[in-house]
């Protein structure tokens, strides 16, 4: 199994419970937007505690970036990651497939499920191929939205917030069949879904009800 010790270059919280990590990129290390790797802290008691995280940096960046939701209260790996700062070390492993971009479509994300889409959108922007994509991003509250300003800048009116808990302004409260139906156009060929298991299952079910075939639906693999 490939293994690289990388130094953390910078960290910052991007929401109240989501932290950004910029780390060294090993020479020759490659990945595609939407892919992930197993990450561990480089400490004797945690080096074998691997957790999968998606790259959020474009593939040609000179560094790697991860945006990770921190779960507190049980002394888990992400709670330890919350304490990591610049100068500390992480261990990254082999790259594995997650969500692969297959062409323009509708991206449907629940909470931290936005992370694989961030790298895809950034890469598409860099190559001038972002047009034709729409993002539906569901969160419990406005405070939970990850990189809202950047996503708005990238996608403009094709970025749609769905906020469950008031105050939610003009945002819809739920992703329902009515909203999905409005996003289904003749030239929409792909529907990308990432989020908690029940969220993903619900989205697939509604798309099936709207006569979207499995060959059009892209989920984590």
**Tell me, what's the pLDDT at 167?**
61
Provide Rg for the chain, Cα atoms. Answer: 18
**Tell me, what's the pLDDT at 150?**
97
Mean pLDDT of all residues in the chain? 92
Per-residue confidence band for 189, with pLDDT thresholds at 50, 70 and 90? confident
Q: Which domains does the chain have, with CATH numbers?
A: 3-96 (2.40.30.10), 105-218 (3.40.50.80)
The tens digit of pLDDT for each residue in 119-169 reads: 999 999 999 999 999 999 999 999 999 999 999 999 999 999 999 887 656
The tens digit of pLDDT for each residue in 42-86 reads: 999 999 999 999 999 999 999 999 999 999 877 789 999 999 999
**Tell me, what's the pLDDT at 75?**
72
Can you tell me the distance from the alpha carbon of 9 to that of 163, in angstroms, rounded to the nearest whole number? 33
């Amino acid at each position: 199994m490939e293994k690289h010790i990388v130094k953390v270059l910078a960290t910052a919280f991007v929401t109240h419970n989501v932290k950004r990590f910029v780390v060294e990129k090993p020479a020759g290390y490659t990945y595609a937007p939407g892919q992930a790797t197993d990450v561990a802290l480089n400490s004797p008691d945690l080096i074998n505690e691997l957790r999968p995280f998606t790259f959020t940096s474009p593939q040609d960046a000179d560094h790697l970036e991860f945006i990770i939701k921190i779960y507190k209260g049980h002394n888990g790996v992400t709670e330890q990651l919350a304490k990591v700062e610049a100068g500390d070390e992480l261990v990254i492993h082999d790259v594995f497939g997650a969500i692969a971009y297959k062409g323009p479509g509708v991206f449907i994300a629940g909470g931290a499920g936005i992370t694989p889409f961030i790298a895809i959108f950034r890469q598409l922007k860099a190559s001038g191929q972002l047009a034709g994509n729409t993002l539906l991003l569901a969160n419990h509250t406005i405070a939970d939205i990850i990189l809202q300003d950047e996503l708005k800048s990238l996608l403009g009116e094709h970025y749609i917030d769905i906020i469950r808990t008031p105050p939610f302004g003009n945002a819809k409260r739920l992703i329902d069949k009515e909203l999905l139906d409005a996003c289904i156009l003749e030239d929409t060929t792909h529907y990308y879904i990432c989020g908690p298991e029940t969220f993903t299952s619900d989205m697939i079910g509604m798309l099936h009800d709207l006569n979207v075939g499995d060959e059009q639906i892209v989920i984590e693999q």
